[in-house]
Amino acid sequence: MKNIEYILTIVLCMILCTNCSDVMDKNDLGSMSDKTVYDNAQFTLMVLDKLHRDIIPGWDVYNAENCDEAGPDRAPRYPWGNSGLDDFDQLSGSYSSIRQINMFLENLAAGSLNQETKDLYSAQALVMRAWIYFDMTRKYGGVPIIRNAQNVSDDLFTPRNKTSECIEFIVQDLDAAIAVENFPYSWSGADAGRLTKAAALALKGRVLLYWASPQFNPNSDQSRWTAAYNANKEAKEKLAANGYGLYENFYTLWFNEMNNEVVFVKRYQEPNLGHSWEAGTRQPARSTGMDGWNKPTWQLAKAFPMITGEPITESALYNDVFFWKNRDPRFAQTIAWNSCIWAQYESVEERLWTYPPEPCANPSSTHLYCRKAINPASTEYQAFAGRNSTDWIEIRFAEVLMNLAECAAELGNNDEAYAILKDIRRRAGITAGVNDLYGLKANMSKTEMTRAIIDERRIEFAFENKRLWDLRRRRMLQELNGMRREGRLATLNMSEEDFTPYKNLGTDFENNYNLYFTDAVEIAGEDKVNALNFPENYYFYPIHSSDLVTNSKLQQTKGWDNGTFDPLE
């Protein structure tokens, strides 16, 4: 799966060659009938792999800036409440993918492959279709359900289905995939990274967690929480029984690819399929071509607890001058700050300097940088744009656990929630403490436990495209209204000339930082002008005006321009 594009190119060339028996043949040598493709397992797998490459989600470098996770380096409209109808995605792209999947399923069924192969291929396609519908449903609520590839002669004007019907359809697809006996829990060798029964189980748990959450379930229907609990419990137990678990090292789980924590993944292999996560996330002095993504806010930095698990506001260990000391190890594995030692490339350690004038054209507005998934063994740092091959993990086993913990908390099973939070914190490197609670408050209420889980997700999954979705599904966006995202600005206490001799790695900044710098908290970038503002209608996005023109039967979402569609049904 790391070399899908390369393999596709080679096989397509083989196909073309096999059709070249007569050089005078005027037929299109690159065309093949559906029967030719779907009667051949190798050709059918090519189509499936192409769908996988195009549909499975990958690195999202913009999402963090749409909430309180990253500073406003790109100045997006969304977090300031300025987004209109046409600032949101169109549905057409998603339905193009759905059509491709539906065509694949229909052609596969009509082909002559053996039933076991058909079942195995269809299971993967069903998980892809479930993913697309889930992604649309969490944004818009109900959308049109298209079960078959439509023809020009069909009625193409399809109304929106109820949200409940979409959730049911998604779960049906996932259940159908899970029921396939030869659908494996994992693949090995060149197949590693294909969709699995484990991914289907984990995605089902996530889908039902969303359906039970306040965004979709404002009246807290407990039957939804029970269904979500059962699905996530099954996912956790079956995955654990098949070798999945928490990888031993929180930081390196991104670099030891396909380890036991990886459940749902998109694989990359540059130059055939690469991404720009490192180029846009590192300090611009350490990359070219892209920058300005994933710059941690000071609010996020403060959210990480101490090594004892206590919040910084409750710990005698916290010192605001040396704010990085005695912290949860995930802090230094996620965030980089002025003077920290960071092996950014070729495992060469150096200090990061963010004090002005920072040695780059477009420095972070928060003066902090993201370290997550920045591989210290990477090479050729000046040419990173579009050349990174680190896999994107959409779901890892830690999320399966946290999804289960949240459902358990909502149903009053705090013991199970405590056990999961302790496992997460134990792996992170937080100390157990004399009460073996890893800094967690004892005897938490349901509300306190739920909040503790959301706070833990914030730091465990920082920059993993989870925070904004968590705030939406928990209906917590309004808690951020009025916030202005902050940074941590370091000012040099001496001239640059006098400071230069102290820039070497041996200088003791751990204990003498204040001799060299004075830090101040400041509002980041465009937040000086605009505070965060999330309107109520952000919980369900509008239908793009072009989609409304294309399909006259689509109703606009309530809360948007005379909308009549109720996403809570």
Whether 23 is covered by a domain: the verdict is: no
Residue 19 lies in a domain: no
Distance (Å, whole) CA 108 – CA 117: 10
Would the pTM count as exceeding 0.85? Answer: yes
Residue type present at position 5: E
Q: Which 3-state string (H, E, C) describes 182-195? A: CCCCCCCHHHCCCC
Q: Is the separation of the CB atoms in 285 and 360 below 8 Å?
A: yes
In a domain, 386, yes or no: yes
- pLDDT tens string, the chain, 569 residues long: the values are 665 444 444 344 333 333 333 322 333 324 567 878 999 999 999 999 999 999 999 999 889 999 999 999 876 789 999 998 899 989 988 999 999 999 999 999 999 999 999 999 999 999 999 999 999 999 999 999 999 987 766 777 899 999 999 999 999 999 999 999 999 999 999 999 999 999 999 999 999 999 999 999 999 999 999 999 999 999 999 999 999 999 999 999 999 999 999 999 999 988 888 888 988 898 887 766 677 789 999 999 999 999 999 999 999 999 999 999 999 999 999 999 999 999 988 888 999 999 999 888 789 999 999 999 999 888 765 556 677 889 999 999 999 999 999 999 999 999 999 999 999 999 999 999 999 999 999 999 999 999 999 999 999 999 999 999 999 999 999 999 999 999 999 999 999 999 999 999 999 999 999 999 999 999 999 999 999 999 999 999 999 999 999 999 999 999 999 999 999 99
What is the end-to-end Cα distance of the chain in Å, rounded?
39
Q: CB–CB of 61/293 below 8 Å?
A: yes
Task: Decide if 428 is inside a domain.
Answer: no
Place of tokens 């309107």: 535
Q: Is residue 82 one of the residues assigned to a domain?
A: no
Domain that includes residue 282, residue range: 277-390+486-523
Q: Does 52 fall in a domain? A: no
Backbone φ, ψ for residue 521 (5° rounding): -90, 130
Neighbours of 493 (CB within 10 A): 13
Where does residue 167 rank: exposed (0-12), middle (13-18), buried (19+ CB within 10 A)?
buried
- Report the SS3 class of residue 550: helix
Number of domains in the chain: 1
Is residue 90 within 8 A of residue 546, CB to CB? The reply is yes
Reading the block at residue 439, the tokens are 């800094």
Assess contact for 542 and 563: CB atoms under 8 A: yes
CA distances from 245 to 49, 209, 329, 373, 388 (A): 27, 20, 20, 19, 26
Phi, psi dihedral angles at 34 (to 5 degrees): -55, -35
Is position 490 within any domain? yes
Q: For residue 513, is it within any domain?
A: yes
Sequence-ordered alpha helix ranges (H) in 179-264: 197-212, 222-241
In 3D space, the residue among 178, 317, 322 whose CA is nearest the CA of residue 242 turns out to be: 178
